[in-house]
Structure 1
């Protein structure tokens, strides 16, 4: 009996060690089950599009010239992005996960789960994926004009963004978010909308990208909470930063920030030394109260924009960044207000109003200026 017990223990240990030795890509394939017949049948029953295409590592290596530096388009929290050319002449963008990145693995699975099921002219199209040993890659359509921040925050490139182009981009982003929130099969909260996550095609049509942080909501679900707050400073809503609560209204807040950035050509963290406001929201709010809202418009536009439309955009931006999520418009409301000359409500107090003079006064009254009562939440910059 003792021998039988020993054999049973050794067998259990052997199975355990074998499972532990599985490579990361084998585990990922088990978790994703992207090409399993059962998964394909389930998608068909749900009326969803079939599973994404699987690209071999050989195909990707050939397409990207072995991930050459000349083919690299950029780099972010997920990893690097490379341009590729398939044998059929199709240009692609390959998003390559940094090996050893646990967060990247979750993003990888999440993007496939979310964006792989959605199709809209203002969402980037995911073509497929590649898993090879420790490598994980996402294959997208290639968009030649890079991301919005490439144009928006560069003094030279911003000159090519005339008013019509900017309004077209604003309207396209709004329609993309409306599709995610209301018109798609799934109700999606993006959670990381920002200028660098809006890509531009050859004719400057905007396409929302990077769904690694996105969450699927139930049809009747209004909000959710998380303990892991991830996102980008300047774009996150106050309720998300403070208590981890997110909803369609937190996406609306991010859109409002992005809208104000597009019309002003300034980052959300912009600070004018001649004014007390320490960010773009405060700057716009101060000008709005003074009746000088159009002073925030990008100087590179000159006067070549319709005053009423520009003022309406500013007002919509302020409505979206209101401190209370209750008062923020839905994206359906935003699209309607952008596309029609209608009466728009006056905005309430926006979030994150910081005053330089108050900050200076508080610092000088403290015995030790290096000590303050503020705490910060650990946020992953992306």
Structure 2
């Protein structure tokens, strides 16, 4: 018997209702005595006078008793049928409900498992996992990354940094990623590698780059990121196109995206995270020019930091004056660097430019000078 959903419940109600009607009809039949026998007529006032005649003795017919027994048997059978039907319907409903719950639970587990595997790169080519508190970063085989980058071919180089190169990698199922290859010849490189895993392994935000996996192979450290098709903001602004692809709408969008990512680090992470290297080259753009903050190699948790505890770091032109001169490091140092990025978006100038053979000028100094000139003209 198949009973499903709301229809099964309505069927049970209909059966119970039909049984009640049958029982009511049977009760009326028993009250009347015989089928078709009308009730005794009421005495009428103007009935004609009839002489008293001795009534014949009542005769109980054998056929009448037999008919009443048949009615009683029919009522009992109908009642039994109703009870059996109701019990069967309830059993079928209960069985269907339990089966449905089991299927739903199985589907949820399967969906959760599938979703979890989709978050891990290479879809089954993992050999171990690195856990950082509640977040997981997948360890990947070096042979897989070596093959995905064409043995780290120069044709797949997306960019170069102080400690290594970033390569384009074609993974399984057509997934394209970026692989940063670090040569750990210095302690700073190992620290940068650990920082990337520590921070990006826990941060989940649409305006912060996602790390998909990592690999440790001899003295080489590799980090796998989502690929950002439009490269860095620095390349878009100061590269061959000189910002021609960036309309004012896109520039405003990039500024808002970067601000949201920075707000997440400062306001919603506990403890707060100070990036320490906000700059246009560390703001990456996807195919729709959505901006994401990257490169957490210098990042630290917020708190009280002494000047002796921290080695001065950052990029010239983006470092806040109080940090550069007095070693005072707070989240406002990131805000200062973000302000420099905003000036780059507005003016299209580099953070530091040469103004002579031996002289350079920062974009902040240039803006301050321009404002002073304008103010002098207005006086």
TM-score w.r.t. the length of structure 2 is 0.61
Per-residue deviation, 1:153: 1.0
Mapped contact 1:277–1:283 kept (Cα < 8 A)? no
Mapped contact 1:93–1:142 kept (Cα < 8 A)? yes
2:338 maps to: 255
Kindly provide the CA deviation profile for residues 23-67 of structure 1, in whole angstroms up to 9, marking residues without a partner as x: xxxxxxxxxxx946xx56xx2xxxx33x20111001101111110
Q: Which has the larger radius of gyration?
A: 2
1:161 pairs with 246, 251, 265, which one? Answer: 246
Per-residue deviation, 1:74: 1.1
Q: 1:157 to 1:267 in 2, by over 3 A?
A: closer
- Corresponding residue SS for 1:191: coil
Moved over 4 A (4+): none
Per-residue deviation, 1:99: 3.9
Per-residue deviation, 1:252: 0.7
2:145 pairs with 39, 55, 60, which one? Answer: 60
**What is the rounded CA distance, in whole Å, between the counterparts of 1:116 and 1:277 in structure 2?**
39
- Corresponding residue SS for 1:282: helix
Kindly provide the CA deviation profile for residues 63-87 of structure 1, in whole angstroms up to 9, marking residues without a partner as x: 1111011111111013111010111
Q: 1:277 to 1:229 in 2, by over 3 A?
A: closer
2:258 pairs with 163, 170, 173, which one? Answer: 173
1:270 pairs with 350, 353, 365, which one? Answer: 353
User: Relative CO higher for 1 or 2, CA cutoff 8 Å, sep ≥ 6?
Assistant: 1
**What is the rounded CA distance, in whole Å, between the counterparts of 1:156 and 1:83 in structure 2?**
21
Per-residue deviation, 1:237: 0.7
- Corresponding residue SS for 2:292: strand
**What is the rounded CA distance, in whole Å, between the counterparts of 1:224 and 1:253 in structure 2?**
20
Consecutive unaligned residues of structure 2, counting only runs of 5 or more, are: 1-127
2:294 maps to: 209
2:327 pairs with 244, 247, 262, which one? Answer: 244
**What is the rounded CA distance, in whole Å, between the counterparts of 1:235 and 1:140 in structure 2?**
25
Q: 1:261 to 1:222 in 2, by over 3 A?
A: farther
2:362 maps to: 279
Per-residue deviation, 1:289: 3.7
1:139 is the counterpart of 2:224? yes
Kindly provide the CA deviation profile for residues 312-340 of structure 1, in whole angstroms up to 9, marking residues without a partner as x: xxxxxxxxxxxxxxxxxxxxxxxxxxxxx
1:228 is the counterpart of 2:311? yes
Consecutive unaligned residues of structure 1, counting only runs of 5 or more, are: 1-33, 293-382
Q: 1:223 to 1:289 in 2, by over 3 A?
A: farther
The 5-angstrom pairing of residues 1-382 of structure 1 reads: 35=129, 39=131, 43=133, 48-49=134-135, 51-154=136-239, 156-217=241-302, 221=303, 225=307, 226-270=309-353, 278-291=361-374
**What is the rounded CA distance, in whole Å, between the counterparts of 1:266 and 1:107 in structure 2?**
29
Per-residue deviation, 1:172: 0.9
Mapped contact 2:183–2:219 kept (Cα < 8 A)? no
Per-residue deviation, 1:222: 6.0
Mapped contact 1:173–1:206 kept (Cα < 8 A)? yes
- Corresponding residue SS for 1:158: coil
1:345 maps to: none
Per-residue deviation, 1:240: 1.4
Q: How many positions carry a matched residue from both structures? A: 246
Per-residue deviation, 1:88: 2.0
**What is the rounded CA distance, in whole Å, between the counterparts of 1:87 and 1:233 in structure 2?**
40
- Corresponding residue SS for 1:235: coil
- Corresponding residue SS for 2:206: coil
Per-residue deviation, 1:291: 4.3
Kindly provide the CA deviation profile for residues 82-129 of structure 1, in whole angstroms up to 9, marking residues without a partner as x: 010111211110000024132111100011001110011111111110
Per-residue deviation, 1:290: 4.4
Q: 1:202 to 1:224 in 2, by over 3 A?
A: farther
Mapped contact 2:317–2:363 kept (Cα < 8 A)? no
Mapped contact 2:353–2:360 kept (Cα < 8 A)? no
Q: 1:138 to 1:155 in 2, by over 3 A?
A: closer
- Corresponding residue SS for 2:212: strand
Per-residue deviation, 1:223: 5.5
Mapped contact 1:224–1:247 kept (Cα < 8 A)? no
